Amino acid sequence: MTQAVSKQRRLWDVLVLGMRRMRVNRELIVLVSIGIVLTVLLIRASRMSDNHPGDAEHVAKILAIFGGGLWVLYQFVLRRAFESALVMSIAVRTNPMEAAQYAVYFEIELANVGGRRIVCAKRLLPKQIEDYEGSIRYPCDLQVRSLARIERSGPHVDWWRRQEQQFPPVSLLAEYSTADEAIDFFMEPGEKYMLGHVLVLGPGHYMAKIVFVGSRSGAAEYWSRMRYFHVPESSQTPSV
C-alpha cells in the first residue's frame, strides 16, 4: 500500500512539474487533477458494480459530489462567471455656438456584461480620493483636460502629471443622488444606461476620462475609460 501511494505521489509531482514547464496556470492544473480523480473513481465504481453494489453506490455519490465541485470550479475560477464586468464607452458630439464656442455633448454608455449586480459607491471618502491621487472626485466621474495644459515628456501625453484643474469634475450620476449628495445607483446583469453631459469649450484638442467606482464587500471595483476628441469636429457621433 505504501509503495502504491509513493508511486501516485511521484506521478503527481511529475504531472505538476510538466504543467509548470508548459506554463499552464494553477486553475488548469486543479481542473486536470480533479478530472484524473474522477476518472479513477469511475473505473473503480465500474469494477465494484458486480461484486459490491453498496460500495459502487458510495463511489457514485462521491462522483456526483466531485462533479458538482468541478462545475463550481469551472464557473467561479476558470470562467469567473460571477465576477463584476462593466463596459463603458464615450461618444462626443459638437455644435457651434457664438464667439467661437462649441457645445460639446458627451454621451456615456454603461453596460453590465457580468453575472452579478454592480452597485455604485454612494460617495468617495477623502481617503479614497487621496488613494486615487486626487484624480477623481465622484464615484461616477467625468473629467476633461486640454492637451495644451497636460505636461508632456517628448511626444508622450501623461494624464497623471500634476496640473492645474482647468474644468471641475462632473458627477455623471447626479440625478441618482439623494438630498445629502449620496448616489443611489445599481445595475443588474444585462442592463445598459445612457448618461449625458454638456460642456461649452473652445477649439482645441482634449482628453476626456470617465471613472466608475463600485461598492462591493471584500473586493475593489474600479473601471475607467479615456477618449481623445477635437473641437471643432464632425457633428456626427464618432465610432468608439
Q: Answer whether residue 239 is part of any domain.
A: no
Q: Is residue 125 scored above 70 in pLDDT?
A: yes
β-bridge partners, 81: none
Structural domain includes residue 66: yes
Number of domains comprising the chain: 2
Residues found in the chain: 240
What average pLDDT score do residues 55-79 get? 61
Q: Which residue has the higher pLDDT, 6 or 105?
A: 105
Range of the domain at 146: 86-231
Same domain, 138 and 206: yes
- pLDDT band, very low/low/confident/very high, at 179 (cuts 50, 70, 90): confident
Based on the fold, state whether residues 123 and 208 are members of the same structural domain. yes
Same domain, 48 and 93: no
Judge whether 102 lies within some domain. Answer: yes
Average pLDDT over residues 159-173: 78
Residue 86 CA neighbour count, 13 Å, CB half: 24
Residue (of 228, 235, 8) closest to 105 by Cα position: 235
In Å, what is the CA distance from 199 to each residue of 89, 144, 155, 188? Answer: 18, 9, 27, 30
- Is 237 a domain residue? no
pLDDT > 50? residue 132? yes
Q: Looking at the structure, tell me whether residues 106 and 212 fall in a common domain.
A: yes
More confident residue, 25 or 146: 146
The residue that leads in pLDDT, 6 or 132, is 132
Cα(138)–Cα(200) distance, rounded to whole angstroms? 21
> Could you tell me which residue, 220 or 239, shows the higher pLDDT?
220
Mark whether 69 and 138 lie in a shared domain.
no
State pLDDT tens for residues 28-45: 566 666 667 666 666 666
Which of 59, 78, 97 delimits the end of a domain? 78
pLDDT tens per residue, range 75-124: 555 555 567 889 999 999 999 988 889 999 999 999 999 888 899 999 88
Q: What tens digit of pLDDT does each residue of 203-219 get?
A: 999 999 999 999 876 66
pLDDT at 199: 94
- Shared domain check, 158 and 113: yes
Q: What is the mean pLDDT of residues 190-209?
A: 93
- To 5 degrees, how large is the angle CA 80–CA 83–CA 86? 120
Q: Indicate whether 74 and 90 sit together in one domain.
A: no
Residue 6 has pLDDT above 70, yes or no: no
pLDDT-derived band at 155 (thresholds 50, 70, 90) equals: confident
133 and 219, same domain (yes or no): yes
